[in-house]
Structure 1
Amino acid sequence: MRLTISEFARVVGLAPSALRFYDDCGLLPPAFVDAANGYRYYDRSQQTRARLLRDLREIDLPLPEVRIALDADPADVADLVRSHLRTLEAKSTATREAATRLLTQLLSHQTTAALGGPELASAIRQVSPTAAATAEYPGLDCVLIEFSPDEITFVATDRYRLAVRTVRPVEFGGVAGRVLVRADELAQVSRWAAAGDVVRVEVDGGLVLVRGDESRELAVVDAEYPAYQQILDGLTPPVCRVVVDRVQLLDALVGRDVVAFDIDSGSLSIGDEVKLDAIGSGAVRVGLTASMLAAALETSVGPDVLLEICEPARPVVVRSADQGTFTTLVMPVRLDG
């Protein structure tokens, strides 16, 4: 008996959007896809694989290791899970120690967030290059940092690209808020932040990063910033979603200016010269500036990248297949003819 994607999602405890993503990644393709309307249907025999996939992702096992585990022997999967748990336990110990230090130092009028040092550094490296290179447009040469108990959001845009990365805080104190800091100044502390297990971020007039006994202070900029969330909320559902090898796509852009992408569920073509294997759904033709897309790919992580296209005149969404907390929007360009 075939189940619709909604029915199967309820049975196995996965959201329909997650099932679509795992289909795009080739981890859990549906048993049948209606050629007329694209509806996905699943077989009850797929429940065991789906639940294993759900449980592996719930313990934050990285996607490449999940790919291996789904087709491995139970004993090998158990070894993989034990190794992952040891890593999580070590991180948890470091987190508790850092949280204890934070609780003795926090001031009630400060907004303070404790972030993993490598995660903070990764967010800075991914978002900062998207900020405008000059101060011609006030505020766009900055990174917007939004603070809330659930997540810290880093945002940058140069009007042609928009990069957004979220990081879950280890600890949060004070009230939610937002600050603007110069992208170049923030980028300079990336390597320093990466060297700490936990970095405390304090907002109290300025922005102070504290790593152990060391600190770095950054000036806060007073400027308006675009309502980026409206842009994200305004995106229509994609007509085409494909997963493609990130490095191969990046290599294919070298030496090019404006490129025409012809995408279908099985391939991604650039002009008549390059054809890359792709996994996904839908078909579309869209034009992009090679340097813009290359910059988004360079700041992504993992072997694969997910491209989502609403229509040729709308921003192309570039997501890391391994890191769903990082998203880049790249504006398309008009193609001749």
Structure 2
Amino acid sequence: MAESDGLITIGVLARASGLTASALRFYDDCGLLVPARVDPLTGYRYYTEAQRERAALIRRLRTIEVPLDSISDILSGDTGRAEQLLDEHVDELRRRARTAAEIAEQIKQTLGSMGDGVTLSAALLAEAFEQVRAAAANSREIPVLAGILVEASANSLTLTATDRYRLSTRTLVSRDRHGGDWSVVVDAGDLTPIIGWLRLLDEIVAAPTDQGLSLVGDGAERRCRVIHEPFPDYRAVLSSLAPVRTRVVTARKPLLTLLEKSSATMRFEVDHTGLTVSDSDHRHHLPAAVTGSAIDLSFSITTLLPAIHTALGPDLMLDIAAPDLPIVLRSATDGDLTTLAMPTWQATDRNPKP
């Protein structure tokens, strides 16, 4: 039906723009790239051909960490305003000693002898391993929970870990792909030296082998042991979450700064004016785009801080169902990261217990 209507699916747009499907859903929820049509029965999103260019521009702007509100202004059609915002952003990047330089040299890999393989940024893979392994189990009581699920499909590589109390999943956009879909569960305990090695490289090829997961870069190879047990169906966990009651989009860095200076429990008060964060000694108001009902909830710093510390990009989206149910923290740049964090229930007048 979509093809005859001149529309394209979210999967086609993802491959054409270099964004993942879940990143496109993130930008839909933010109002930055709203589908031309959503099927009322299936919920499938469809886009016009003209939206390919906008999606590609969003991808480029997010690569250099342009905030969501600035992207909206840049793409509004006012060329002068767009140039001003871009110049200001680049100046800010220089002041923070960041660069957006092109990769000076690309390492070419021979994929023919490796069968199924995915080529991607070694630095991003190292970052993703570091982020999701915090949610892997420390004990071996259930061996597979001490592992990280690595899945290759379409134009992406997805890493997921869970210890049944926490869950973290990140998707990376691949640079090249050879062969079919595959998945393995790697032992998280093997990753510390491999992460250090990956950070020294520009590009890596990941491929499954009989001996484990093979990582090849700059003429060298490392292997990760695999755990031969079925990984929990984390997608079922995510799809069964309660409906979102309140959504908050706020800048990640100011929130992270507040949490790093606090201890014990932090209280979040969300209403139409934004987000107020407080502990026993301090109270701070942060600008935020809020949709939905006012709500109060509390978090243990040990639960919330790691989730926000490892989030991607300058912006953070919090999807809140209730003050006693897991919240979903979402962020997107160079792929996307989703983390579940459990609040500490505290009844208030604005939070009647159902």
Same-fold status (TM-score > 0.5): yes
**Separation in structure 1 between the aligned mates of residue 299 and residue 142 of structure 2, nearest angstrom:** 23
Identical aligned residues as a percent: 29
Q: 2:328 maps to what in 1?
A: 317
**Separation in structure 2 between the aligned mates of residue 307 and residue 292 of structure 1, nearest angstrom:** 14
Distance 1:20 1:69, change over 3 A: closer
Q: 1:39 maps to what in 2?
A: none
Aligned residue for 1:134, secondary structure, equals coil
> Which of 273, 276, 297 matches 1:286?
297
**Separation in structure 1 between the aligned mates of residue 152 and residue 121 of structure 2, nearest angstrom:** 15
2:147–2:188 contact (8 Å) kept in structure 1: yes
> Which of 232, 241, 252 matches 1:235?
241
Aligned residue for 2:66, secondary structure, equals helix
Distance 1:322 1:116, change over 3 A: closer
Aligned residue for 1:188, secondary structure, equals helix
**Separation in structure 2 between the aligned mates of residue 181 and residue 20 of structure 1, nearest angstrom:** 33
Aligned residue for 2:110, secondary structure, equals helix
TM-score (norm 1): 0.72
Q: 1:56 maps to what in 2?
A: 57
- Letter of the aligned partner of 1:183 in structure 2? A
Deviation sequence 1:193-252 (CA, Å, 0-9, x none):
132221011211111111121111111112332210101111244211112333333343
Distance 1:67 1:262, change over 3 A: closer
Residue 180 (1) aligns with residue 185 (2)? yes
1:35-114 equivalences under 5 Å are 56-57=57-58, 59-62=60-63, 63-64=65-66, 67-68=69-70, 74=79, 77=82, 90=102, 98=108, 101-103=109-111, 105-107=112-114, 110-114=115-119
1:131–1:183 contact (8 Å) kept in structure 2: yes
**Separation in structure 2 between the aligned mates of residue 174 and residue 322 of structure 1, nearest angstrom:** 26
1:129-144 equivalences under 5 Å are 129-144=134-149
Q: 1:197 maps to what in 2?
A: 202
Q: 1:18 maps to what in 2?
A: 27
Report the Cα offset of residue 119 of structure 1: 1.8
> Which of 151, 175, 178 matches 2:156?
151
Q: 1:269 maps to what in 2?
A: 277
Q: 1:224 maps to what in 2?
A: 230
Distance 1:333 1:75, change over 3 A: closer
**Separation in structure 1 between the aligned mates of residue 186 and residue 120 of structure 2, nearest angstrom:** 17
2:266–2:277 contact (8 Å) kept in structure 1: no
Aligned residue for 2:145, secondary structure, equals coil
- Letter of the aligned partner of 2:284 in structure 1? K
1:269–1:275 contact (8 Å) kept in structure 2: yes
**Separation in structure 2 between the aligned mates of residue 240 and residue 76 of structure 1, nearest angstrom:** 32
Distance 1:170 1:329, change over 3 A: same
Distance 1:322 1:241, change over 3 A: farther
Deviation sequence 1:115-154 (CA, Å, 0-9, x none):
1112211211211122122223322121111122332110
2:62–2:333 contact (8 Å) kept in structure 1: no
- Letter of the aligned partner of 2:66 in structure 1? P
Distance 1:290 1:231, change over 3 A: same
- Letter of the aligned partner of 2:276 in structure 1? L
In structure 2, the gaps of 5 or more residues are: 1-12, 14-23, 35-50, 91-98, 349-354
In structure 1, the gaps of 5 or more residues are: 1-12, 29-49
- Letter of the aligned partner of 2:145 in structure 1? L
1:290-301 equivalences under 5 Å are 290-301=301-312
**Separation in structure 1 between the aligned mates of residue 83 and residue 258 of structure 2, nearest angstrom:** 39
